[in-house]
């Protein structure tokens, strides 16, 4: 939502926010105080708060400094209650691209983001922050939920070739001019970018921006027969970065994959690639009765294949056992500093071998802290290829 302020906020005598101030000012004050508390070398917050208050009174909004943007993006990762890989939140590299508002340069910058993040397989955590929503107009949007996603082509009989999750966005891309790929199960979708005061436009990602890993089992060359592969960089682009009352709806960011994200979800889920029956047949397993645990056995072998393939390709990937231990270390570090660690148990616990990991036998507070990467319903609708009317 874009906020408009029709009256001048009353300046409180003590210099801090109160209930009569606009929400953006209250959130800004909380953020600046947090920033200066964690980085005391920047000095007391009051002079900066006075600048922000004056900007909000004049324009309805304010602009973060480069240092504030970087701090806010890193803390948003630290606060992400669905992310198990937060131990390295301080390592996030921040590209300040707030001057970009048009679709074509944003698409080009996203391709460059992927090149830098891929880093010859040594994946780097990276975020690219484009223009924010303003008081008088919405900022740009990226319709894809990730910068790299595979197309899902609907067949006449209702089946989908590729990733069913992306069938709606594939339809949308074709409607606005994408010619489509060769109709394999792993055609990379174009980026669909909506610039300020513009309609959504499709941009194909350059080949050198997309590193893909052929997927083979340690004992079997699956990729040669099935063409299995997956992309190296999981760059989330459908979430809104919210810092101190300012919304950055186009702010793609990435870490690196944990193997189960691909092997136990993307490739295994029945509403995605649904590979377990095929793999079970390949392994000669009895699929007549679930009690044989054929799904479990096939799932383990699929995840072995993912880890083996990324290791062979020299591409950074975590496994769920190591990442669980790292998350516990993150918990201990943050608790030692007196900071809360919000976590959603259903996302933190890996989707296979859950009880064998140290994150399983714990309870967590799923509180949502700010700064944050927020899930907005309209972003989910865009990822399904549904038109959204943007209100000023």
Which residues does the annotation mark as catalytic? Answer: 83, 86, 256, 261
Cα–chain-centroid distance for residue 208?
21
- CA angle at 235 for the pair 233 and 241, rounded to the nearest 5°: 155
CA distances from 338 to 120, 173, 332, 341, 345 (A): 38, 47, 10, 10, 21
Which positions ≥6 away from 289 have C-beta within 8 Å? none
Distance CA 73, CA 89 (A): 9
> Which strand (E) or helix (H) includes residue 253?
strand 253-254
Helix (H, G, I), strand (E, B) or coil at 194: strand
> Which strand (E) or helix (H) includes residue 161?
strand 160-162
What is the 3-state composition of the chain as percent helix, strand, coil, each rounded to the nearest 5? 40, 15, 45
Distance CA 97, CA 94 (A): 9
Nearest CA to 162 among 107, 217, 229? 229
Q: How many CB atoms lie within 10 A of CB 367?
A: 12
> Which strand (E) or helix (H) includes residue 318?
strand 317-318
Omega of the bond prior to 257 within 30 degrees of 0, cis?
no
**Residue owning tokens 């924010």:** 132
Going through 73-140 in order, the beta strands assigned E by DSSP cover 93-96, 126-129
Question: How many CA atoms does the CB half-sphere of 365 hold within 13 Å?
Answer: 9
The C-alpha torsion from 229 through 325 and 92 to 26, rounded to 10°, is 120
Which positions ≥6 away from 227 have C-beta within 8 Å? 184, 185, 186
What are the strands of the beta sheet with 235-236, ordered from one edge?
93-96, 126-129, 253-254, 235-236
């Amino acid at each position: 939502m874009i906020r408009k302020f029709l009256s001048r906020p009353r300046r409180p005598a003590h210099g801090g926010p109160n209930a009569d101030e606009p929400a953006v000012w209250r959130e800004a004050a909380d953020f600046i105080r947090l920033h200066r508390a964690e980085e005391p070398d920047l000095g007391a917050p009051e002079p900066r708060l006075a600048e922000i208050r004056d900007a909000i009174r004049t324009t309805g909004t304010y602009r973060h400094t480069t240092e504030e943007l970087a701090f806010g993006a890193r803390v948003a990762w630290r606060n992400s209650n669905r992310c198990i890989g937060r131990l390295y939140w301080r390592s996030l590299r921040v590209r300040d691209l707030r001057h970009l508002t048009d679709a074509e340069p944003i698409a080009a910058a996203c391709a460059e983001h992927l090149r830098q993040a891929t880093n010859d397989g040594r994946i780097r955590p990276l975020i690219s922050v484009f223009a924010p929503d303003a008081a008088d107009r919405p900022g740009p949007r990226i319709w894809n939920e990730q910068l790299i996603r595979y197309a899902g082509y609907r067949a006449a009989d209702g089946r989908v070739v590729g990733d069913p999750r992306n069938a709606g966005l594939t339809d949308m891309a074709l409607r606005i001019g994408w010619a489509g790929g060769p109709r394999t199960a792993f055609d990379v979708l174009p980026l669909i970018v909506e610039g300020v005061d513009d309609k959504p436009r499709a941009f194909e990602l350059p080949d050198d921006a997309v590193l893909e890993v052929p997927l083979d089992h340690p004992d079997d060359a699956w990729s040669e027969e099935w063409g299995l592969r997956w992309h190296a960089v999981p760059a989330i682009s459908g979430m809104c970065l919210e810092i101190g009352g300012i919304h950055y709806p186009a702010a793609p960011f990435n870490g690196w994959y944990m193997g189960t994200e691909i092997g136990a979800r993307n490739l295994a889920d029945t509403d995605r690639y649904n590979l377990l029956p095929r793999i079970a047949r390949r392994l000669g397993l009895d699929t007549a009765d679930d009690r044989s645990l054929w799904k479990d056995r096939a799932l383990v072998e699929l995840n072995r294949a993912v880890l083996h393939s990324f290791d062979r390709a020299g591409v950074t990937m975590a496994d769920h056992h190591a990442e669980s231990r790292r998350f516990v270390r993150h918990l201990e570090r943050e608790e030692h500093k007196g900071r809360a660690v919000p976590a959603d148990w259903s996302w933190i616990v890996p989707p296979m071998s859950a009880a064998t990991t140290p994150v399983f036998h714990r309870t967590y507070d799923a509180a949502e802290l700010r700064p944050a990467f927020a899930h907005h319903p309209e972003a989910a609708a865009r990822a399904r290829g549904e038109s959204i009317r943007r209100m000023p």
